[in-house]
Amino acid sequence: MKSNLTLLSIVLFSVVLHKVIAGDLSNIRGVGMGRTMNAVSRGVDALGINPANIAIPDQGNFNLNLAPTGIRVSTELLDYGLYKEYFTGVDSVGKRWAKRLESADMDKILSQMPELPKTRVKAEAMLGASFQHPLFGGIGFAIIEHVGATITLSKDFFRMAAFGLDSAGSVYMFDGTKASAWWYCEYNLSYGRKLPVEIKFFKDLYAGIGLKFFRGYGISQPISQKSSFGNYPDPANPTQYILKGNIDFLTTHTGVDFMNENSETSFALFPDPVGKGTGFDIGLSGELINGVRVALSVTDIGKITWDKNVIESYGSGAINITSITNNLEDTLKSIFKGKTRPGEAFDTYLPTALRLGFATEASDIPVLKFLPGKLILAFDYLQGFNESLGNTTKPRFSLGTEYRVFPVLPLRTGLAFGGGDKVRWAFGFGLDLHNFSLDFATDNFGMVFIPKSFQTVSFSFGMKIRV
């Protein structure tokens, strides 16, 4: 069935292409705790999360992060169980053949898909260092590369691929379909210190601020998109049909010189940026008299201005086909490809978010004092304020733990709810020596035990030197 191939192509294309708040992926310890990190981050790990925590004493006075890296891919199109059931073929005489999808199969796939399924990809890498002193406070600097993409496809794309044009007439609406992608580098300089104040019920209180400078290398984002397509009976001849449709879109994008297909410039490791911006983080962190640490921060306040190589792609037109002509294919290509024109400078807001976190040690909880080793319990609430650069306004809640029966072998796990994804079970571990640590984590460890239902793949790892 031709529609099988069309549907599979769309699925595979979308899975390859991809939401995460900035800084979440390069904090390996926090990823392993279900991205629960606001109250437990220390040293260089606090950059981009809560600058107040940089000043809190921890292992060593100097921390050097050696390029912690995180990658995350998620899709709402279908889970692994549906993919394996319908798109990996069937066994026949020692070979696998394509599975023929019947109407019931199509209905099952579509019934589990939201009206506007999203596919998201995010990668992040950091090189950073921090220094902490009881009198001076804490200061940190990091260079963080951000790359990501988000694709939203109307469910009607898949309905049309599955069922085609109905003999009684049909119409498919593709409003809400959009794609965005970005690549920028963040330079983060943060400072925190203990405040010389006494507050009732608090043992201590730290405050911090982070200044950020951005160099943008490429972005593409939709401004508007409305389109539809369908077939209608011809009033003059009821046995014939008219294909009608319309398309109206506007997209703005820019990229460094070597990303322009008409440019002869070759790839450069440090290209001249096409966008620049500034931003800042602010944070507070205090320990209550009962041993619970409370942390509050607002991160990524600011914007990036893109003012070089700006191009707008636009298209608008109606499709009204009463008969097949030789130039039909060229007409359709011209409408959907659109045209380009020079664009004006535009701003992109940073993925601003409010973070609230709590953390305590099991030794401070009477019913858990019997446990050997050191157990940390933490909770985070994250609220995004926009949908920019992979951000989301859907709140995220997470619970995380770190357990050290042996001090050098931390085990981490956590659960995350919301944020535009299904419930995730995270897991991480590390080798934590006096002057060196090595950490690994995934925020969707559940895929190992329930592979049929997983829709997210993530992996983060990093090394750290302490003095």
Model confidence pLDDT, tens digit, residues 161-174: 788 777 777 888 88
Q: How confident is the model at residue 139 (pLDDT cuts 50, 70, 90)?
A: very high
- Name the β-bridge partners of 463: 66, 438
Q: Are 441 and 412 in contact (CB under 8 A)?
A: yes
CA-wise closest residue to 315 among 242, 245, 219, 261: 245
As a whole number of Å, the end-to-end CA separation of the chain is 64
- The CA distance from 313 to 296, in Å, is 41
- The CA distance from 210 to 47, in Å, is 8
pLDDT at 305: 97
Provide the token pair at 66: 């050696």
Unique residue bearing structure tokens 């914007």 = 303
Q: How confident is the model at residue 16 (pLDDT cuts 50, 70, 90)?
A: very low
- The CA distance from 222 to 176, in Å, is 10
Reduce the DSSP state of residue 438 to 3 states and report it.
strand
pTM (two decimals) = 0.84
**pLDDT: which is higher, 370 or 294:** 294
Q: 285-304 burial, b for 16+ CB within 10 Å, e for fewer?
A: bbbbeeebbbbbbbbbbbbb
State pLDDT tens for residues 102-113.
888 888 888 888
Number of residues that this document lists for the chain: 467
Q: Are 26 and 144 in contact (CB under 8 A)?
A: yes
Q: How confident is the model at residue 3 (pLDDT cuts 50, 70, 90)?
A: very low
Provide the token pair at 180: 């965005």
Q: How confident is the model at residue 271 (pLDDT cuts 50, 70, 90)?
A: confident
Q: Are 31 and 426 in contact (CB under 8 A)?
A: yes
Q: Are 397 and 380 in contact (CB under 8 A)?
A: yes
CA-wise closest residue to 435 among 55, 58, 59: 59
CA angle 352–356–357, rounded 5-degree value: 135
State pLDDT tens for residues 183-231.
999 999 999 999 999 998 999 999 999 999 999 999 998 888 888 878 8
What residues contact 413, with CB distance under 8 A and at least 6 apart? Answer: 32, 33, 34, 400, 401, 425, 426, 427, 428, 445
- The CA distance from 157 to 360, in Å, is 49
Q: How confident is the model at residue 335 (pLDDT cuts 50, 70, 90)?
A: low
Reduce the DSSP state of residue 435 to 3 states and report it.
coil
Kindly report the average pLDDT of the chain as a whole number. 84
Over residues 20-47, mean pLDDT? 86
Does the pLDDT at position 17 exceed 50? no
Q: How confident is the model at residue 235 (pLDDT cuts 50, 70, 90)?
A: confident
pLDDT at 107: 84
- The CA distance from 362 to 202, in Å, is 19
Provide the token pair at 55: 């000043």
Phi, psi of 267 (to 5 degrees): -60, 140
Which range has highest mean pLDDT (51-55, 230-234, 331-335, 444-448)? Answer: 51-55
The percentage of residues in the chain with a pLDDT greater than 70, rounded to a whole number, is: 86
Does the pLDDT at position 8 exceed 50? no
Q: How confident is the model at residue 324 (pLDDT cuts 50, 70, 90)?
A: low
pLDDT at 197: 92
Over residues 289-310, mean pLDDT? 95
Q: 437-461 burial, b for 16+ CB within 10 Å, e for fewer?
A: bebbbbbbbbbeeeeeebbbbbbbb
Report the topology of domain 2-466. Porin (2.40.160)
Provide the token pair at 288: 């209550």
Provide the token pair at 385: 């304020």
CA-wise closest residue to 304 among 218, 390, 222, 387: 218
The percentage of residues in the chain with a pLDDT greater than 90, rounded to a whole number, is: 46
pLDDT at 2: 36
- Name the β-bridge partners of 172: 229
Return the C-alpha torsion angle 323, 327, 328, 333, nearest 10: -170
- The CA distance from 462 to 248, in Å, is 45
State pLDDT tens for residues 115-131.
888 888 889 999 999 99
Task: Say which amino acid occupies 73.
Answer: V
pLDDT at 355: 98
Dihedral sign for Cα atoms in the order 3, 6, 8, 11: negative
pLDDT at 88: 73
pLDDT at 37: 95
Q: How confident is the model at residue 260 (pLDDT cuts 50, 70, 90)?
A: low
Dihedral sign for Cα atoms in the order 365, 366, 368, 374: positive
Does the pLDDT at position 238 exceed 50? yes
